Amino acid sequence: MIRVVLICSFLAVPALADDDDQDRARRALDAGEILPLSSILSVAEAERPGRVIEVELERDDGNWIYELELVTPGGRLYEMEIDAATGTVLEIEREDEDD
């Protein structure tokens, strides 16, 4: 019984972190500081078609930045940074297989 409780406790920790991130993003969206994620995904798709596999929202020098990882139809992995307030693509970087 104790083992089950410990496992459940460990599984709950990432969910709490995700809730914090979602709450932070929701507050920024409600305050008009960032664009909705759907808008950011449209920008990313127009710039580099592919499937987004990871999204992070971070503060960098006071600016909100979406960091996306995506896989193109050809199987290449890219990291993209998009200004969360304007939707401007700031950087696109191909992740090399050798890294």
Q: What is the pLDDT of residue 19?
A: 58
pLDDT tens sequence across 4-54: 333 333 333 334 345 577 888 899 999 999 999 999 999 999 999 999 999
pLDDT tens, residue by residue, 56-70: 999 999 999 999 999
- 99 domain-assigned: no
Residue 87 lies in a domain: yes
- Mean pLDDT value across residues 67-87: 96
Neighbours of 33 (CB within 10 A): 14
9/18 Cα distance (integer angstroms): 15
* Best CA proximity match to 52, nearest among 71, 34, 37: 71
Q: Which amino acid is at 82?
A: I
29 located within any domain:
yes
SS3 (DSSP) at 77: strand
Q: Work out how many domains the chain is built from and give that number.
A: 1
pLDDT at 97: 59
Which of 22, 61, 57 lies closest to 41 in space, CA to CA?
57
Q: What is the CATH number of the domain that holds 90?
A: 3.10.450.40
Q: What is the pLDDT of residue 39?
A: 96
Print the domain residue range for 44.
2-94
> What whole-number distance in Å separates Cα of residue 29 and Cα of residue 22?
10
